[in-house]
Amino acid sequence: MHRSITLSIDPELLLQFPELQLGGFIATRVDRASPAIAEELSELMRASAGTLAFEHAARVRPLVAAAGLTTLCRAVALRHLVALTGYDLDALPSPGITIRAALPATDWFVPLGARPTDAPMRRSVIVHAAGPIVLSRAFNDRESRQTCLTSATRRAVFVTDAVSSEQAKAAAAGLEDLRVRLANLGADVGSTMFVDAWTPCAELKCGRTAMRA
């Protein structure tokens, strides 16, 4: 059982994206938040009524509350127009998440709702990975069936990424929005950490942060 997760950036990727940032936090006892997620989503939709993101979502990608945590994560991501992804902490094969280029010869990726052959790994693809297991394509792309959030998830790690300082500000705001919402719904949330070119590695820890209004 992982009690902490290391976030890191592959140094080679910084040559391509010098302002790249990866951030996240750990939330535990998220099952306590699940019963109230539907109400939280309703409030979030009302607060965001009329925005381009939610008008678009209503037309082509309806938010369905079948998987509460995933839906809440996507709703917050849409509100802030950022990449925001959640993984089941207990399904991670190793206690580290790295953003890097895909390694086609050794990586393994089972995309949600598809076969591995439907999403082949290429060196041009940027991924979140735990060792050779690809958790998702980076920048809010397709997630892995092996580590995605489910109704059985009890501990989760939420991650955002950005390739510019402007995107990073929005990503940090979106990540904090989600963290506060989960805390107010009853989950235990740890501190947010970011890594970048100056701090390419950091540790996320399980913890409890007081709920805030």
From first to last of its 213 residues, what are the pLDDT tens digits of the chain? Answer: 778 999 999 999 999 999 999 999 999 999 888 767 777 777 776 666 555 454 444 433 444 434 588 888 988 998 999 999 999 999 999 999 999 999 999 999 988 777 766 777 788 899 999 999 999 988 866 788 889 998 889 999 999 999 999 999 999 999 999 999 999 999 999 999 999 999 999 999 987 655 554
Residues in a beta bridge with 111: 144
Domain boundaries, the chain: 4-204
Residues in a beta bridge with 8: 98, 201
Strands (E), 1-125: 4-9, 21-28, 83-88, 96-101
3-state class (DSSP) for residue 100: strand
3-state class (DSSP) for residue 168: helix
Q: What angle do CA 184, 176, 144 make, to 5 degrees?
A: 95
How far apart, in whole angstroms, are the C-alpha atoms of residue 73 and residue 200? 25
How far apart, in whole angstroms, are the C-alpha atoms of residue 163 and residue 61? 25
Q: What predicted TM-score, i.e. pTM, was given to this entire model? A: 0.86
CA nearest 187: which of 146, 148, 160, 158?
158
**Average pLDDT taken over every residue of the chain:** 84
- Output the six-digit token pair for 143: 């997630």
- CATH 1.10.630.10 describes domain 4-204: no
- 76-93: pLDDT as tens digits: 998 999 999 999 999 999
